[in-house]
């Protein structure tokens, strides 16, 4: 049997990079997937590229609370429960603290952290109905270590890590069967990081900094997410899964 057979899943930021690889892996493992993104054209192409049935495109901004409430109503109507929530949408704005505007700070906090709060709040009743719900929140190694010019992004991702821990213990205390874990990728080759590789010297320096000797692929992260989404990780909650080719332990 496929590892996610009969699971109903939501993946945000699914039109690109890690989110698309995750949606693809979920579909390959038998899940029915709602793919969320604000980029309509790329999202529709992503949905068409997936195998199997039950793929649904949801064009929305993850910072929009009304959109999360509407999605909860839609999934309630379609399935009456949710098994897996992957809060993956996010991006960074990299500048020294003194050059970071409050507007930029707030937008990075909103897309990376407010979105996880809103999704958790509105999807929790459906995840509890599942009886074995799994929330997977996309953080970063930047939540664990400082990075130059990454104040807003690091703070947001550290917030995701803390929110995940609170979600884990709150759900455990309620005995609602919902688990929550965070994933902390190192440097992964996606459109988000493509700019770093335009300069060959910078690209080589990034690789030199990774003990494994290569940058990660979106599938490296998707594989970890499949495990966290599946019942194989049933005793894992509140964990921080680092997938970084050894970057944070050297």
Residues with a catalytic annotation lie at 153
Q: Largest Cα–Cα distance of the chain, in whole Å?
A: 54
Task: Report DSSP letters for 162-205, one per residue.
Answer: HHHHHHHHHHHHHT---EEEEEEE-SB-STTTGGGGSSHHHHHH
Task: Give least dist CB 76 to ligand NAD, A.
Answer: 21
Q: Which is nearer to ligand NAD, 2 or 155 (CB)?
A: 155
Nearest alpha-carbon partner for 133 in 3, 14, 9:
9
Alpha-carbon gap, residue 24 to 221, rounded angstroms: 12
Q: Which is nearer to ligand NAD, 10 or 15 (CB)?
A: 15
Q: Which is nearer to ligand NAD, 130 or 228 (CB)?
A: 228
Contacting positions for ligand NAD (CB under 6 A): 13, 15-19, 37-39, 61-63, 88-91, 111, 138, 140, 185, 187-188, 190-193
Q: Which is nearer to ligand NAD, 41 or 232 (CB)?
A: 41
Backbone angles phi, psi at 65, to 5 degrees: -65, -40
With H, G, I as helix, E, B as strand and everything else as coil, classify residue 242.
Answer: strand
The set of residues, in sequence order, having a beta carbon less than 8 Å from that of 146 and lying 6+ positions away, is: 154
With H, G, I as helix, E, B as strand and everything else as coil, classify residue 120.
Answer: helix
- Provide the 8-state DSSP code for 30: T
Task: Give least dist CB 68 to ligand NAD, A.
Answer: 11
Task: Give least dist CB 131 to ligand NAD, A.
Answer: 28
Q: Which is nearer to ligand NAD, 105 or 130 (CB)?
A: 105
**Cβ atoms within 10 A of the Cβ of 183, count?**
26
Task: Give least dist CB 233 to ligand NAD, A.
Answer: 19
Judge residue 185's burial from the number of C-beta atoms within 10 Å of its C-beta, 0-12 exposed, 13-18 middle, 19 or more buried.
Answer: buried
Task: Give least dist CB 13 to ligand NAD, A.
Answer: 3
* Nearest residue relative to ligand NAD (C-beta): 17
- Partnered with residue 59 across adjacent β-strands are 37
**Cβ atoms within 10 A of the Cβ of 204, count?**
11
């Amino acid at each position: 049997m496929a590892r996610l057979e009969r699971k109903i899943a939501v993946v945000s930021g699914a039109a690109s990079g890690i989110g698309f690889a995750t949606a693809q892996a979920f579909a390959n493992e038998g899940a029915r997937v709602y793919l969320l993104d604000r980029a309509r054209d790329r999202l529709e192409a992503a949905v068409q590229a997936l195998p199997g049935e039950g793929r649904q495109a949801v064009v929305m901004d993850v910072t929009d609370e009304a959109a999360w409430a509407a999605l909860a109503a839609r999934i309630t109507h379609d399935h009456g429960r949710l098994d897996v929530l992957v809060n993956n949408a996010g991006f960074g704005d990299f500048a020294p603290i003194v050059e970071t505007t409050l507007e930029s700070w707030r937008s990075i906090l909103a897309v990376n952290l407010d979105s996880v709060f809103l999704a958790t709040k509105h999807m929790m009743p459906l995840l509890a109905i599942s009886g074995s719900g799994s929330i997977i929140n996309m953080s970063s190694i930047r939540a664990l270590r400082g990075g130059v010019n990454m104040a807003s992004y690091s703070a947001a991702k550290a917030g995701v890590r803390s929110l995940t821990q609170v979600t884990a213990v709150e759900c455990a205390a309620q005995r609602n069967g919902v688990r929550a874990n965070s994933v902390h990728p190192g440097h992964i080759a996606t459109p988000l990081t493509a700019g770093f590789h335009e300069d060959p010297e910078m690209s080589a320096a990034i690789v030199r900094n990774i003990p494994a000797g290569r940058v990660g692929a979106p599938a490296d992260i998707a594989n970890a997410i499949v495990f966290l989404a599946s019942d194989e990780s049933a005793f894992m909650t509140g964990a921080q899964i680092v997938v970084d080719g050894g970057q944070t332990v050297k």
